[in-house]
Amino acid sequence: MRGNASTSRALNRRLILNLLRSRGPISRAEMAHITGLSPAAVTFVTAELMEEALVVERETVSGTSGGRRPVPVDINYEAHLALGFKLNRYNIECVLTDLATSPLATAESSVADTTPEGMIETIAATIPRLLSQANRQESEIRGIGVSIPGEIDPASGICLQSPRFGWKNLPFAEMLAERVHVPVWIDDDVNAFAVAQKLFGVGRDHPNFAALAIGAGIGCSLVIKGEIHHGSHCAAGKIGHVTSVPNGRLCECGRRGCLMAHAAEPYMLDEWKNRTGSATSRAEFAASVEHGEDMALSILSDCGSRIGRHLADMVNLFDPEIIVVGGEAVEFGDALLAPIRRTMEEFAFFTKPELVPDWVPSSWARGAAALATQNIFDFERSPSG
Ligand SMILES: [Zn+2]
């Protein structure tokens, strides 16, 4: 890294922004004390960030002892917007958020086909809808994040492959940025969920954690020392494609016996059909779980045990402090999570990290929005567009 003045200024900015993100509002004196920066440097960086409306001074809490209290400085979360889009087979989950990824407007747009052009036009058409829903302006948008199931290179903005959509080596970030004229960041959907957790979830207290997601597929992103571990080919964390049943069911990746082909939601519904002889919708299956029906619980127990068995291997390899769990299947609660936890603990060799569900229906799209807000906290990332 070049040691020039602009680099050190950028480093100081990142230091201060991330301190405020993790600690909440604090005074300039506290910032200097915690970071070791000089009071002059803190004042300089803070002034610069205030000019860009990235930080604001909050109300001073008056104490009983009298005298002037130092003014707390905070990130100006409300003043800027991010957009998040999570691409699915039949729809796009869309959210407009502030910089803390708190949702201001949400929408679900159906997609007729999964061509990149179709997805891009749907996204472009949804943006004005979200803005008007929240009564905000296009000029307030700092960036767009898009999460795509597959192998994604976030640095180049290229979707290396997405078997679910049949995409290969697609410069999706650049294509969307050209269409909407806003900086675009992309990543795998589970990594995007992990980025949101890293910035505003378990990551605030745990620099090393795993983010497990179970829904249409299964993935487990790894955050190591506060950074997403993408691996050398952007294919790390693909626990859904470890072979669980040799020569088993066909997976969407084209191989056989992958964990997700034997434990993700499509498998649960297929298994229900196999065991009962009649097809069921996801909602009906969820209702059966809710009512504690034996067949549904038995399917979840099998899936959970299978996932936990492989999760234990991940724990042995990476020793995360905690595992946060997201994805639609979190809705099944302990009927799924308890067998995961039990089996993971049974097969883990040394540490048995806590398994913590953290999921609301907007979490996928908020994760995508976090890909854009992350940029503000990390100057090294550059957008497409
Ligand atoms: Zn697979």
At residue 3, the pLDDT reads 55
At residue 291, the pLDDT reads 97
- Domain count of the fold of the chain: 3
Pick from 326, 321, 314: which is nearest to 357 by CA? Answer: 326
Q: In terms of domains, do 211 and 352 share one?
A: yes
- Domain CATH number, residue 159: 3.30.420.40
Q: Which of 53, 75, 97 is the last residue of a domain?
A: 75
Ligand 1: centre distance to CA 234 (Å): 15
Ligand 1: centre distance to CA 250 (Å): 8
How is residue 250 written in tokens? 């066909």
Q: In terms of domains, do 71 and 108 share one?
A: no
Ligand 1: centre distance to CA 239 (Å): 9
- Domain CATH number, residue 48: 1.10.10.10
What span, in angstroms and rounded, lies between the C-alpha atoms of 315 and 243? 17
Q: In terms of domains, do 352 and 216 share one?
A: yes
Largest CA distance in the chain: 76
What span, in angstroms and rounded, lies between the C-alpha atoms of 180 and 187? 18
Ligand 1: centre distance to CA 241 (Å): 4
Ligand 1: centre distance to CA 251 (Å): 5
What span, in angstroms and rounded, lies between the C-alpha atoms of 284 and 39? 60
Q: In terms of domains, do 9 and 53 share one?
A: yes
Ligand 1: centre distance to CA 236 (Å): 13
At residue 257, the pLDDT reads 98
Sorted by sequence, the CB contacts under 8 Å of residue 113 that are 6+ apart come out as none
At residue 64, the pLDDT reads 58
Ligand 1: centre distance to CA 151 (Å): 12
What span, in angstroms and rounded, lies between the C-alpha atoms of 251 and 249? 6
Pick from 174, 220, 171: which is nearest to 193 by CA? Answer: 220
Running along the chain, 385 residues long, what does each successive block of 10 average in pLDDT? 70 92 93 95 95 91 67 94 96 96 96 93 97 97 96 97 96 98 96 95 94 97 95 96 98 97 98 93 96 97 98 97 98 98 98 96 95 81 47
Ligand 1: centre distance to CA 265 (Å): 14
Boundaries of domain holding 343: 204-357
Question: In angstroms, what is the C-alpha Rg of the chain?
Answer: 22
Q: In terms of domains, do 255 and 351 share one?
A: yes
Task: Tell whether 382 is covered by a domain.
Answer: no
Q: In terms of domains, do 218 and 351 share one?
A: yes
Task: Tell whether 385 is covered by a domain.
Answer: no
Whole-model pTM above 0.75?
yes
Ligand 1: centre distance to CA 249 (Å): 10
Q: Which of 25, 47, 75 is the last residue of a domain?
A: 75
Buried-exposed string 81-114: b where 16+ CB fall within 10 A, e elsewhere: bbbbbbbbeeebbbbbbbbbbebbbbbeeebeeb
Q: In terms of domains, do 97 and 189 share one?
A: yes
Ligand 1: centre distance to CA 308 (Å): 17
Q: In terms of domains, do 208 and 353 share one?
A: yes
Q: In terms of domains, do 184 and 301 share one?
A: no
Q: In terms of domains, do 24 and 40 share one?
A: yes
Ligand 1: centre distance to CA 242 (Å): 7
What span, in angstroms and rounded, lies between the C-alpha atoms of 378 and 18? 9
At residue 1, the pLDDT reads 44
Q: In terms of domains, do 95 and 186 share one?
A: yes
